[in-house]
């Protein structure tokens, strides 16, 4: 296999809870990317707890990647967390805490902008609400031109949400930030919540196979998701561990795992309480029809084209996960 001499550089923005931690392991253990920074946003847990969880995970991987604390709440709204899903500490309350490492003093927004200047072709993946990235774009809109690829774990382009019938959690928590990011001109690839359901869920056999690897990483990956597994079953009736953030990371690391994708205008609803945070996807390109244009424009927001992944190579995703945890 041909390897470029310079590995791809990656910045990870995360509200580190249980599935985020597994995604971090995949990136930190990957030979194909160099993680230049991890920036923390409030979402699943408080920003301070998210930083502790990222530092613990980095320690577990033997990584000294800098961790930067960012926004402690959404741009305009109060923070709504997901402890009910991930446990009070976000890692299912087993007492995981970093032994040595601490966060940097630079704010996440400064770190994102600095990384975009010092690493040509920087890739970004967001695993939480989009507050940090929106703040960075507000400070410097040209940031969008310096990022070569932006993978967003968020939204539900085809189907029901997981926090309201209309919305997925990461977009719902800070819809104003999502609106800014989605209209920024960033080269976005959207990995929606629906891709982590059904066959993509780790079932009992998959979990047994991961645990049989016998490594501290494998054990942690399963154990830190123990609360999430029961919450997911309560929510969907599906048994197993659903891992939206690691699936987004898998597609970032191995783009061929996205089997079907297409690009569409996407807008984010911010006004309605019923559909707050909904990712409205123009699949039929009706907005190019002049008769419909006024309706769409009355929302008074630009819509960038976003590449949406509709189908995942499930066997490939699970194989990559197992390789990462060996």
> Which residues participate in catalysis according to the annotation?
15
- H runs (alpha helix) in 100-165: 108-118, 131-139, 143-146
Strand order across the 305-312 sheet: 67-69, 33-40, 8-14, 122-126, 147-153, 188-191, 305-312, 258-268, 279-281
Closest alpha carbon to 19 in 316, 254, 229, 258: 229
Torsion of CA 317, 156, 169, 178, to 10 degrees: 110
- Tokens encoding 217: 């990483």
Instruction: Kindly calculate the radius of gyration of the chain based on its CA atoms and give it in whole angstroms.
Output: 18
Q: In terms of DSSP bridges, do strands 258-268 and 279-281 run parallel, antiparallel, or are they unpaired? A: antiparallel
**Distances 170 to 41, 83, 185, 289 between C-alpha atoms, Å:** 11, 14, 20, 31
How many Cβ atoms from other residues are within 10 Å of residue 198's Cβ?
13
Non-local (6+) Cβ contacts of 173 within 8 A are 43, 74, 77, 79, 80, 128, 129, 277
Q: Which helix (H) or strand (E) holds 124?
A: strand 122-126
Return d(Cα 183, Cα 26) in angstroms, integer. 29
In three-state secondary structure terms, 234 is helix
Return d(Cα 27, Cα 125) in angstroms, integer. 10
Return d(Cα 91, Cα 265) in angstroms, integer. 35
């Amino acid at each position: 296999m041909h390897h470029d001499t310079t590995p791809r550089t990656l910045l990870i923005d995360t509200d580190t809870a249980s599935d985020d931690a597994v995604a971090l392991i995949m990136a930190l253990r990957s030979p194909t990317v160099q993680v230049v920074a991890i920036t923390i946003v409030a979402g699943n847990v408080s920003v301070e707890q998210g930083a502790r969880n990222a530092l613990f995970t980095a320690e577990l991987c033997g990584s000294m990647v800098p961790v930067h604390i960012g926004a402690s709440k959404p741009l305009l709204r109060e923070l709504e967390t997901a402890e009910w899903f991930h446990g009070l500490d976000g890692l299912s309350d087993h007492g995981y805490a970093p032994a040595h490492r601490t966060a940097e003093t630079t704010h996440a927004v400064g770190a994102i902008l600095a990384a975009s200047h010092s690493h040509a072709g920087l890739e970004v993946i967001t695993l939480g609400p989009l507050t940090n990235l929106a703040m960075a774009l507000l400070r410097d809109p040209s940031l969008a031109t310096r990022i070569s690829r932006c993978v967003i774990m968020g939204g539900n382009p085809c189907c029901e949400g997981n926090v309201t019938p209309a919305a997925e959690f990461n977009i719902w928590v800070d819809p104003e930030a999502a609106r800014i990011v989605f209209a920024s001109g960033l080269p976005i690839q959207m990995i929606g919540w629906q891709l982590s359901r059904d066959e993509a869920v780790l079932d009992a056999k998959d979990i047994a196979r991961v645990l049989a690897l016998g490594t501290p990483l494998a054990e942690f990956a399963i154990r830190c998701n123990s609360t999430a597994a029961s919450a997911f079953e309560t929510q969907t009736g599906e048994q197993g561990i659903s891992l939206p953030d690691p699936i987004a990371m898998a597609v970032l690391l191995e783009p061929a795992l996205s089997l079907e994708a297409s690009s569409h205008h996407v807008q984010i609803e911010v006004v309605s309480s019923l559909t707050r945070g909904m990712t409205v996807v123009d699949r039929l390109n009706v907005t190019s029809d002049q008769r419909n244009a006024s309706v769409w424009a009355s929302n008074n927001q630009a819509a960038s084209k976003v590449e949406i992944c509709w189908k995942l190579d499930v066997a490939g995703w699970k194989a990559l996960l197992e390789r990462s945890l060996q």
